[in-house]
Amino acid sequence: MSVRHGRPVLSIPGPTTVPDEVLNAMHRPAVDIYSGPLLEVTDSCLADLRTVFATEGRTYIYAANGHGAWEAALTNVLSRGNKVLGLESGRFALGWADMAAVLGVETEMLPGDWSRAVDPAALETRLRNDTDGTISAVLVVQVDTASGVRNDITAVRKAIDAAGHDALLMVDVIASLGTMPFEMDAWGVDVAVAGSQKGLMMPPGLSFNAAGPKAVARHASADLRTAYWDWTTREGEQHYMKYCGTPPEHQLFGLRQAIDMLFAEGLENVFERHRLLAEAVRRAVAVWAEGNAISFNISEPSQRSDSVTTIRVDGGHDVASLIRYCDEKCGVTIGVGIGGIEDTAFRIAHMGHVNAPMVLGTLGVVETGLGALGIPHGRGGVQAAIDWLASEVKA
């Protein structure tokens, strides 16, 4: 017996739900790549991405996933023999630094912990000890999708400045752009990396770099540059060169629509919607935690992201069964734990094209699963989420 037949709900931290309007915008014949509507779409998307990143700097669109944009960012500003410092706070800064190592860059991780944000004081100390300036760049993730942490990028910037260090600040905003405030220029970020399939409500397959003036200066002498990712080549006049080959046409029509939807809602309202829905999830988890089997992965409340919540299940209760129950019995796909916490965690995403019924539905199904599987939990998590929304979303 199941109650899954109906519209499926996808509650994983990427790819996220693609709006029908975006799917419809992509459902069209292919067009010419040298003239016609695609040229305008490219120019307007590149310009509007600057608004989304909050930068006056340059933006680049790649036909690639987030890993591609990671590689693009690294190869455009680094040289062989450079060293980067990755700030550990989950899985993704590690992955990015690993990629740098493969490229022939020396890498060092500032050790961190999966249950908390990066420590700016430890960063400042490490950079002060780098007296001969061997560290070329600091790599940090704004929201780590594995741990669910939000890092304070302004505090990271302050730590670099306090140490008087010249390293570039490179930030992965793949899971935070379009879900939480990010102010590239105001926060002193030199390079930002994003992907299409999370807050930007698109299918996977497009990713982005944004580069400030200091990054562009480093780029001039970077010797890891390759023909495909190269920012300068992509500045070329020919529309074709903006993508180093055939533009990902349908994805671009989709992106145009997705950005239009973000602007129509207003970025401030987009962020506030995410905050309200994320807090609804947190209210529910806090009640479930009263059963002493469930807990937040991120211990400090202010460090929990508005994109995804990572939830620990202790005491040997079977997380895989819970995830399977939600999917097979109720039609909700929730996220598995990743990066070593597969057996003890699950994730509820609340990013992108998401609204109250989607979040309340997901919470209701998780609470149903906890009950059906006999996993100890405080009762009334969904009610707490409802109470939160009822008090904050005024009539």
Ligand X SMILES: *Cc1c(COP(=O)(O)O)cnc(C)c1O
> Which parts of 1-60 interact with ligand X (CB under 6 A)?
14
Report the C-alpha gap between 220 and 243 in whole angstroms.
20
Q: What amino acid occupies position 217?
A: A
> Which parts of 249-268 interact with ligand X (CB under 6 A)?
none
Instruction: Select from 61-69, 181-189, 291-299, 383-391 the region that touches ligand X (CB under 6 A).
Output: 61-69
Q: Name which position in 65, 107, 136, 305 contacts ligand X (CB under 6 A).
A: 65
Report the C-alpha gap between 367 and 359 in whole angstroms.
12
Distance in Å, CB of 122 to ligand X, minimum: 21
Closest CB to ligand X among residues 9, 64? 64
Q: What residues contact residue 259 under an 8 Å CB cut-off, 6+ apart?
A: 45, 48, 49, 52, 200
Q: Are 109 and 86 in contact (CB under 8 A)?
A: yes
> Which parts of 118-137 interact with ligand X (CB under 6 A)?
none
Q: Is 204 in the site for ligand X (CB under 6 A)?
A: yes
Closest CB to ligand X among residues 19, 204? 204
Closest CB to ligand X among residues 66, 331? 66
**Start-end of H helices in 302-348:** 319-324, 330
- Cβ neighbours around 134 below 10 Å, total: 13
Interaction pattern, residues 71-100, with ligand X; x per rule: CB under 6 A: ---------------------x--------
Instruction: Select from 171-179, 208-216, 268-276, 375-383 the region that touches ligand X (CB under 6 A).
Output: 171-179
Q: Are 251 and 196 in contact (CB under 8 A)?
A: yes
Closest CB to ligand X belongs to which residue? 66
Closest CB to ligand X among residues 117, 360? 117
Instruction: Select from 63-71, 160-168, 247-255, 336-344 the region that touches ligand X (CB under 6 A).
Output: 63-71
Q: Name which position in 4, 50, 67, 317 contacts ligand X (CB under 6 A).
A: 67
Q: Is 141 in the site for ligand X (CB under 6 A)?
A: yes
Q: What is the DSSP string of 335-373?
A: EEP-SS-TTTEEEEE--SS--HHHHHHHHHHHHHHHHHT
54 conformational bin, left if phi > 0, alpha if psi -120 to 50, beta if neither: left
Distance in Å, CB of 67 to ligand X, minimum: 4
Report the C-alpha gap between 253 and 36 in whole angstroms.
13
Q: Is 66 in the site for ligand X (CB under 6 A)?
A: yes
Report the C-alpha gap between 198 and 307 in whole angstroms.
9
Interaction pattern, residues 312-341, with ligand X; x per rule: CB under 6 A: ------------------------------
Number of residues near ligand X (by CB under 6 A):
13
Q: Is 172 in the site for ligand X (CB under 6 A)?
A: yes
- What is residue 77's three-state secondary structure? helix
292 conformational bin, left if phi > 0, alpha if psi -120 to 50, beta if neither: left
Q: Is 200 in the site for ligand X (CB under 6 A)?
A: no
Footprint of ligand X on this chain (CB under 6 A)? 14, 65-67, 92, 141, 144-145, 172, 174-175, 195, 204
